[in-house]
Amino acid sequence: MVGVSDRKQFRTLTPPEAVHDIVAELEIDAGAETVPLTEARGRVLAERLDAPIDVPGFDRASVDGYAVRAADTAGASETNPVTLPVTGTVHAGEKPDIAVEPGECVQISTGAVVPPGADAVVMVEQTRSGADGRRIETAVTPGAGRMSAGADIAAGERALPAGTRLTVREIGLLAAVGVSSVSVRAAPTVGIISTGDELVPVAETVDSESGQIHDVNTPTIAAAVTEAGGEPRRYPHVGDDFDAMAELLERASEECDLVLSSGSTSASAVDVVYQVIEERGELLVHGVAVKPGKPLLVGEIGDGAYVGLPGYPVSALTTFRVFVAPAIRAAAGVPEPEGATIDGEMAVEERFESGRLRYIPVGITTDGDGTRLVYPVDKGSGATTSLTDADGVVAMAPETRYLASGESVTVELFSPDVRPPDLLGMGSSGPGVSRLLDTVGGTRPPRYLSVGEREARSWLGDDVPDFLVVTDGDGVAAETIGAWTREWGLVVPKENPDGVTGLDSLSDDLRLVVQASGTGLRAAFDAVTDSPTGVTGPGVESPARRVAAGRADVGVALRATAEQLGLGFVSLGEQRLRLAVNPTRAEKAGIGRLKTAGWETAFDGLAGYELIDAPNSSSKSETR
């Protein structure tokens, strides 16, 4: 293991433009493969394809009518028709057994082989039956009503160029020229390796007290590789061990066209990937001037291309989307997706240190006038909810130090399929809020940010949310459209081994945890005691889950949470919550749906909850 004295600093950070060029020059071409035509849709031709046959392969009638010699129709009109005897019939799919002689005609079906001697076909609608034959009522020129052999595409002509993405149209052409299989670009195989001693596979249980976390990057990067046109190949998780890391990276480089690792890319003493690349290959980039994503590695190991992504999921997926996905698409022949952008105004001011290109995760909403507002949702590179609470990113140039409130910005959506929600709420969390929002109709579910009441009130001051869920009597100047109470108190193990009966029974040796400051339950707890506590996250269930896991003796929680987790509960009172609508958003369609939501059923059967006011009901609902 590298000692602290050997700690390596980042080299000079490479500009993002240079990193794009370096990654683009990596050799990740997967070659070509032959696939049946039935499996070719969406694939990209590896080489030019010439037509092996004429299409059509014969002179073909384009209409139902009569095959004629054009010269025999000269001067024909409705008032001066030319009568030609019908000497036979030719149907589609059969070989003609008759020729068209001068002064004669042959009845013919659409798609049938034009018989010898005929150089045109008269539409049946331009003829009439006559006593001595068919009366032709229009003059035609040679080639009328027929398609010559090879007129669609002739044998030897280029049917499709290399690099063509095969859609249903191209599949039809290939079928017409009799091609049953095609040579297409093979999807590059991308090896995916997550590193770090703290990582645990998603299907396994984490030991939070030991700092373990689930391996988020392996499944998410694999999905991103597939979306970019690559074929992901997952490798076992490897810890921060030099020899194990080197062995796995070298094996993956032999088996894959590109190797991606995530984590262990920074310059600390325990991050060893860059050391492996330097010793066993060539390190081309160690750090990029972008945030998130600074600890990016680019290099080669063995005969293979390598990119090392940062460990935090937001950083890993951001750098993958910006630098790696274009290279995978180029190797697979997949076109760059159409840029999906939305313009809007910054809802709040954002300040950062200058010097690096910054990608700010943002959400999108609209104010009461329909103006599109852009608000930051960046919780840090380690917060995966920054990916789901955001709709896209705003690129902030290295020389820019702040974005002013009201400033026009362009949001690069995560994909063209992103549809920002039309209803945005913030404030206290809990099962009652979740169940109520489940009943709100519309094609896009409401977005709700459980940021706690203090932060929600701050966002309301900036006119960002459409509604808030806050405790009663907090001074929020907003219309209340519904209210309920919830019972809160202390949760303990089911058998209550420490005999907790209330606040007075708490001793100093009991591990007590409560929500972070700024939340509704923390405010209720602080109002009745000043006991020192262990603080956990803002979620209402966090303390109870710590008690359930044996990592705390007592927690502050709701009766509903205690019953859900099978814990003991000591009541400390009731807390009144209200749903308050931002006065500037009262006319939004989403607010109308919120008012007609299933208030009466949302709290039904939810322990400790009582609905006391609802916008669509004149009565109260007892729901304890």
**Three-state secondary structure along 66-112?**
EEECHHHHCCCCCCCCEEECEEEEECCCCCCCCCCCCCCEEEECCCC
- pLDDT value at residue 452: 83
Question: Is residue 563 located within the same domain as residue 541?
Answer: yes
Query: Contact, 122 vs 68, CB < 8 A?
Result: yes
| CATH number of the domain bearing residue 603 | 3.40.190.10
Q: Could you tell me if 202 and 286 lie in one domain?
A: yes
Q: Last residue of a domain, which of 420, 436, 451?
A: 420
Show the domain range for 167: 33-50+161-185
Total domains in the chain come to: 5
Q: What is the CATH number of the domain that holds 41?
A: 3.90.105.10
206 and 95 co-located in one domain: no
Q: Is residue 619 part of a domain?
A: no
- Whether 552 and 498 map to the same domain: the answer is yes
pTM over 0.95, yes/no: no
Residue 110 lies in a domain: yes
Q: What is the pLDDT of residues 124-174, one digit of tens each?
A: 999 999 989 999 999 999 999 999 998 888 899 999 998 888 999 999 999
Of 420, 440, 468, the last residue of a domain is 420
Give the burial class of 408: count Cβ atoms within 10 A of its Cβ; 0-12 exposed, 13-18 middle, 19 or more buried: exposed
Q: What are the tokens at 86?
A: 């019908």
Could you check whether the bond before residue 161 is cis, i.e. omega within 30 degrees of 0? no
In-domain check, residue 448:
yes
- Coil, strand, or helix at residue 335? coil
User: Residue 519's pLDDT is what?
Assistant: 85
For residue 443, what are the contacts with CB-CB under 8 A and spacing of at least 6? none
Task: Give yes or no: residues 312 and 370 share one domain.
Answer: no
> And the tokens for 84?
């030609």
- On whether both 374 and 517 belong to a single domain, the answer is no
Residue 451 belongs to some domain of the structure: yes
Tell me: do 392 and 522 sit in the same domain.
Answer: no
Task: Give CA–CA dist 133/66, Å, rounded.
Answer: 11
Query: Which among 113, 110, 117 is positioned nearest to 68, based on CA atoms?
Result: 117
For position 454, what pLDDT does the model report? 86
d(CA 542, CA 595): 30
The dihedral through the CA atoms of 177, 183, 185, 191 has a sign that is positive
Report in angstroms the alpha-carbon separations of 9 from 178, 267, 287, 300, 421. Answer: 61, 5, 10, 21, 43
What pLDDT was estimated at residue 380?
58
Which of these three, 300, 332, 364, is where a domain ends?
332
The answer to whether the CB of 21 falls within 8 A of the CB of 284 is no
CA distance linking residue 183 with residue 36, whole number of Å: 9
Q: Are residues 491 and 593 in the same domain?
A: yes
Q: What is the pLDDT of residue 379?
A: 63
573 located within any domain:
yes
Please give the single-letter amino acid code of residue 59. D
Q: Quote the pLDDT of residue 595.
A: 92
55 assigned to some structural domain? no
The answer to whether residues 126 and 91 belong to one domain is yes
Question: What is the CATH number for 143?
Answer: 2.170.190.11
The rounded mean pLDDT for the chain is 87
Q: Does some domain include residue 543?
A: yes
How far separated are the first and last CA of the chain, in Å rounded? Answer: 59
Tell me if 618 is assigned to some domain.
no
Q: Which two tokens stand for residue 319?
A: 């750098």
Does residue 210 sit in the same domain as residue 326? yes
pLDDT < 70 regions, the chain = 1-11, 265-271, 339, 379-387, 473-475, 531-538, 616-624
Query: What tokens does 159 get?
Result: 């049917």
The structure tokens listed for 422 are 């039309």
If asked whether residues 43 and 120 sit together in one domain, one would say: no
> Could you tell me the CATH number of the domain that includes residue 293?
3.40.980.10
Q: Are residues 81 and 207 in the same domain?
A: no
